[in-house]
Amino acid sequence: MPCELILALDAPTLRDVAPLLSRLRGSVRWVKIGLELFTAGGPDCVRQAADLGFEVFLDLKLHDIPNTVARAVTAAGRLPIKMLTLHTAGGREMMRRAAQAQAETAPHLRLLGVTVLTSLGGNDLREIGVEAPPETQVVRLAKLAVECGLGGLVCSPLELAPLRAQLPASVTLVAPGIRPAQAGRADDQTRVMAPAEAARAGADFIVVGRPILLADDAAAAARGIMADLA
């Protein structure tokens, strides 16, 4: 399967990106709704994006006690979404219960484990008591997530190759921290890569937000990235 683009809707409301979504219908297939937009718009913004014809990746990074996360997975699975994130740092039982809830109530839904945020580097990890370098910590958490039944992972593009080498081929890898060369800055991401490089490294999906949303011609920027992937 070729690598696909997911457009991150990093906006306060869906209304802010509605004109762009209208222009991208039929070309971009996936959109990501994260905490900011979901907090402002709630489940309705998910339904609206799905009604426009987009596949929805709901990026809530669930992290709580096992019972709470399992119930949240069940609730989210009732929405028109295809992918949902949770933090692998929540541990084995939390992930196992989440995967069980997904299998029983939302078999269409793909659970993705978030390992180490792309905004964190080695110094950041040491500051919170994790002595392992980011790549080592990512692989450790990724293997645990797969053992617990998660179908995919969100990881820095710099960890794509190690994960592809050590995990089953069926595991979906989603890479944020993607910056086209013309974007010129990494914003708050510290472990980044260009779109075509990430695809060659083994990404099934790449997530791009601000380099598209802040471009002078956002639709052209999205089409350029898709051309790179092709």
Q: How far apart are CA 159 and CA 135, in angstroms?
A: 6
Given 32, 61, 82, 143, which residue is catalytic?
A: 61
C-alpha to C-alpha distances, 96 to 40, 56, 60, 100, 177, nearest whole angstrom? 30, 23, 18, 6, 27
Q: Which residues contact 126 (CB under 8 A, 6 or more apart)?
A: none
> Is 82 part of the annotated catalytic residue set?
no
**Active-site annotation, residues:** 61
